[in-house]
Amino acid sequence: MPQLSAPRSNGPRILSVKIDKLGKRLGIANPTWDNPRMNESAYTKKLRKRLIEEGAVVWKWHGSGMGINGVPDLYVASTLWSGWIEVKVARNKASASQSARIEELNQRCVDAFVLRGPDHQIERPDGTINGHLDWSSNLLAQLFDESQTHGLR
């Protein structure tokens, strides 16, 4: 059977840098947890993978022209915790529509919040810090505890 993709190289990985239209450096395309310039896509991918490894079902919401504006990035469902997570990195803030959707969910007793990477801070849409996730232990258990103690809504 013909090979449909090029074989993966075992050589050194080369980091690439993303540049916007004005020549501004956007970040490193292959970031690590300790890289302060980790981009939102990479953080979301690592978070999603970790939650799935812990037994959760995680759905990535892809906004589109036909979708509902402001719906948080991830829906997480497990026996320990279920809710919505809007992922942000660096100084990015939740948009007005994202803040409105999170508030709408919270008013209906649904856990929804902003998780800021790479420091793993749990925030309200206005930037108020509600907590912090310790990446060295079970994230779902921590989300459950945060929900019961401080409320993620």
- pLDDT reported for residue 125: 85
Rounded Cα–Cα distance for residues 52 and 74 (Å): 12
Confidence of residue 102 (pLDDT cuts 50, 70, 90): very high
Rounded Cα–Cα distance for residues 27 and 128 (Å): 25
Domain segments of the chain: what residues? 40-149
Is pLDDT at 9 greater than 50 in this prediction?
Answer: no
pLDDT in tens, 22-61: 555 555 444 444 555 678 889 999 999 999 999 999 999 8
Q: Give me 142's structure tokens.
A: 């921590």
Rounded Cα–Cα distance for residues 16 and 5 (Å): 21
The three-class DSSP label of residue 48 is helix
- Fold of the 40-149 domain: Trna Endonuclease; Chain: A, domain 1 (3.40.1350)
Question: Which residues contact residue 34 at a Cβ distance below 8 angstroms, ignoring those fewer than 6 apart?
Answer: 118
Number of other CB atoms surrounding residue 113 within 10 Å: 27
Distances (CA, A) of 86 to 65, 132, 137: 19, 15, 21
Is pLDDT at 21 greater than 70 in this prediction?
Answer: no
pLDDT in tens, 107-120: 999 999 999 988 89
